[in-house]
Chains A and B, each alone.
Chain A
Amino acid sequence: GDSVTQMEGPVTLSEEAFLTINCTYTATGYPSLFWYVQYPGEGLQLLLKATKADDKGSNKGFEATYRKETTSFHLEKGSVQVSDSAVYFCALSEETSGSRLTFGEGTQLTVNP
């Protein structure tokens, strides 16, 4: 079945540091890939997405590229801010599974000033 494996957290960085959160997936077909973010006390928000191989999703300075050859969708940001502190979830959706989302375990990011 479908699965998503995320880099284990928690991750603690200083402001302006470079961020990478690794995400790899297993799927039977050609999934769409997503990153969701959950800020403290809030619901899940879509951060970015990619629907086919080699697509790059980007938003708020975050980027992730759909790599079919390595089945990966790593999240990157060149310079993190304190306000980026949140839990980040990688997820996939396949038509064969009714388009529901399969999530990774989540990675807690803390950015210190």
Chain B
Amino acid sequence: GAGVSQSPSNKVTEKGKDVELRCDPISGHTALYWYRQSLGQGLEFLIYFQGNSAPDKSGLPSDRFSAERTGGSVSTLTIQRTQQEDSAVYLCASSFTGGRSYGYTFGSGTRLTVV
């Protein structure tokens, strides 16, 4: 597609349930990033995939969070046993290799509400 696509756009879940968030990056973009945007917390890096390299998971806040990227394209962010503090907008971005030169394209995000 023309842009980064994220689904669902909104997700309401009960505390303790697992959720999966999906990101379809721009075709040909080798790098994919997940960020979290919370009220009062700004934009927080979660995880970074680059080609076939091992992902940089240094931003994941706990072991309840995991992500995978299949076939170098679509990525899924999974949050297990959701907590209320997980409520946020989860943003995905993709770029060509060397995104720091070309810039990063963001999706519209998934707004997660844990009740």
Contact = CB atoms under 8 A, between A and B. Distances in A.
B107 A43 contact: yes
Contacts of A31: 100
With most chain A CB atoms within 10 A of its CB, the pick from B31, B59, B95, B106 is B106
A51 B98 CA distance: 11
Given A46-B105, A98-B56, A103 B100 contact: no
Contact of B33 (A42, A45, A101, A105): A101
Interface stretch (B12-20, B41-49, B68-76, B78-86): B41-49
A35 to B, nearest CB: 11
Interface string B20-47: 0000000000010101000000110100
Contact of A51 (B42, B100, B107): B100
Contacts of B104: 34, 46, 101
Contacts of B108: 42-43
B77 interface: no
A34 B100 CA distance: 9
B48 A51 contact: no
A84 interface: no
Interface string A69-113: 000000000000000000001010111001111111110000000
Contacts of A95: 100
Given A31-B100, A32-B101, A100 B56 contact: yes
Interface of A: 31-32, 34, 36, 42-46, 49, 51, 89, 91, 93-95, 98-106
Interface of B: 31, 33, 35, 42-43, 45, 48, 50, 56, 59, 91, 93, 95, 98-101, 103-109
Given A34-B103, A89-B43, 9 more contacts: A46-B103, A46-B104, A46-B105, A99-B31, A100-B33, A100-B56, A101-B93, A101-B104, A106-B43
